[in-house]
A and B are shown apart, each in its own frame.
Chain A
Amino acid sequence: MKWTAADVELYQKEKDYIDTALIPLIPITMDDGAKTAASGGEFVQLVAGELERQLKGRVFLFPPFSYFLSESRQSLVERLTDWTSLLMEQGMKYVFYVTCDREWKGKETAISDRLWLVPAVPLENMDESYKYELIRDQTSGLLRFFISQWS
């Protein structure tokens, strides 16, 4: 499911079956790291989109949780925890995150063990078929992660 009117309609009908939320965490910065951050964000969105395509009957892909890198980590963690508990209250059993920002992994929080980190890759100057291969590879890793958490 994606955050579109048609998918939300289906979600409301089949609520019992769709119990997993996926939130991409997208960092933003305008200084020297901008290009790296943008490229990472692009990759995260591609992987999340491909995963949604394969598991659309159970996974709800939410609009990205975007933040500036200069924001305080503590308040970000708080905000994300709020998002998570809101979703849980609404009937989601699992909430997963996918990001390219290593800092999320560093801290031992409730978030870090439900987080999938994609590697930083310079997608823009990559061959089309290789890019496809890479996305497929990451997606299947993420897919296995989901399946292992489900069972």
Chain B
Amino acid sequence: MSDKHRVTRRQFLNYTLTGVGGFMAAGTLMPMLRFAFDPILKDEAGTEMVAVADVKDITTEPKRFDFKVKVKDAWYESEEPRSAWVYKNEKGEIIALSPICKHLGCTVDWNTDKEHPNQFFCPCHYGRYTKDGTNVPGTPPQAPLDRYEYKVKDGKLYLGKAKPRGEA
């Protein structure tokens, strides 16, 4: 046997013990670190983007898409249905409007009021919004419809949080 690779019994034991000890230390430290940093690593509930529709299905006419988001109410976690009115404007930009009426929170519908075509209409108190979500003066709502944050990835539309106009 050559002298170059000679490992003494003492060295061998040292190496092995350091290695095993290192693994054990890592094994106990890792969970502790995770606990310490967990709140930073975790996504804020409700901010995850959800795939809602194929971009090719989006036309210039507002269309309703339904999806579900996870919500946490105290200790009760559930999936809550949401919907969005999605269309492309003249510039080809995607607009995703929240259907929640800014008056008292009913769900608005597109083009259901025969006297005022091509507007969003709230059946509760006859609130109206134009196609881009602007509230029609003289009807109960005082603010435009919220817009969803969105992104497009691999031909799919992802929606995030609905935000008041100007913030999204």
- The chain A residue sitting closest to B108, CB to CB, is A54
Q: Are B107 and A55 in contact (CB under 8 A)?
A: yes
How many residues on the A side are at the interface (Cβ–Cβ under 8 A)? 17
Chain A residues 16-63 with CB under 8 Å of chain B are: 17-18, 50, 53-59
Question: For residues 95 through 136 of chain B, which have their beta carbon under 8 Å from a beta carbon of chain A?
Answer: 101, 103-107, 122-125
The answer to the question of A147 belonging to the interface, with a C-beta cut-off of 8 Å to chain B, is yes
A137 interface residue, CB < 8 Å from B?
no
The CA of A143 and the CA of B123, in the complex, are separated in Å by: 9
Instruction: Let me know if A14 is at the binding interface, CB within 8 A.
Output: yes
Task: Identify which of A50, A56, A150 contacts B106 (C-beta below 8 A).
Answer: A56
| A55-74 at interface with B (beta carbon < 8 Å) | 55-59
Name the CB-closest residue of B to A56: B105
Q: Which residues of A contact B104 (CB under 8 A)?
A: 10, 14, 17-18, 56-58
Shortest B116–chain A CB gap in Å is 15
Shortest beta-carbon distance from A112 to chain B in Å: 24
Distance between B156 CB and nearest chain A CB, rounded to angstroms: 19
Give A93-151 interface residues, CB cut-off 8 Å to B. 132, 143, 146-147, 150
Residues of A near B103 (CB, < 8 A) are 17, 57
Residues of B in contact, count (CB < 8 Å): 12
**Complex alpha-carbon distance, A31 and B165, angstroms:** 55
* Complex interface: chain A residues within 8 A of B140 (CB): 17
Which one of A50, A58, A146, A150 has the highest number of Cβ atoms from chain B below 10 Å of its Cβ? Answer: A58
By a CB distance below 8 angstroms, the chain B residues around A55 are: 106-107, 123-124
| Chain B, residue nearest A150 (CB) | B123
Chain A contacts for B81, CB-based, 8 A: 50, 53, 132
The distance from the CB of A133 to the nearest CB of chain B, in whole angstroms, is 11
> Which positions 67-87 of chain B face chain A at CB distance < 8 Å?
81
List the A residue with the shortest CB-CB distance to B102.
Answer: A57
The contact string, 1 if C-beta is below 8 Å from chain B, for chain A 2-23, is 0000000010001001100000
Select B125's contact among A17, A143, A147, beta carbons within 8 Å: A17
Distance in angstroms from A17 CB to nearest chain B CB is: 6
> How many angstroms between the C-alpha atoms of A128 and B63 in the bound complex?
23
B99 to chain A, nearest CB (A): 9
Chain A residue at minimal CB-CB distance from B122: A57
- 9 new A-B contacts, CB < 8 A, other than A18-B104, A56-B106, A57-B122, are A10-B104, A17-B124, A17-B140, A50-B81, A54-B106, A55-B107, A56-B104, A58-B104, A58-B124
A-B contact pairs, 27 of them (CB 8 A): A10-B104, A14-B104, A17-B103, A17-B104, A17-B125, A17-B140, A50-B81, A53-B81, A54-B106, A54-B107, A55-B106, A56-B104, A56-B105, A56-B106, A57-B101, A57-B105, A57-B122, A57-B124, A58-B104, A58-B106, A58-B124, A58-B125, A132-B81, A143-B123, A146-B123, A147-B123, A150-B123
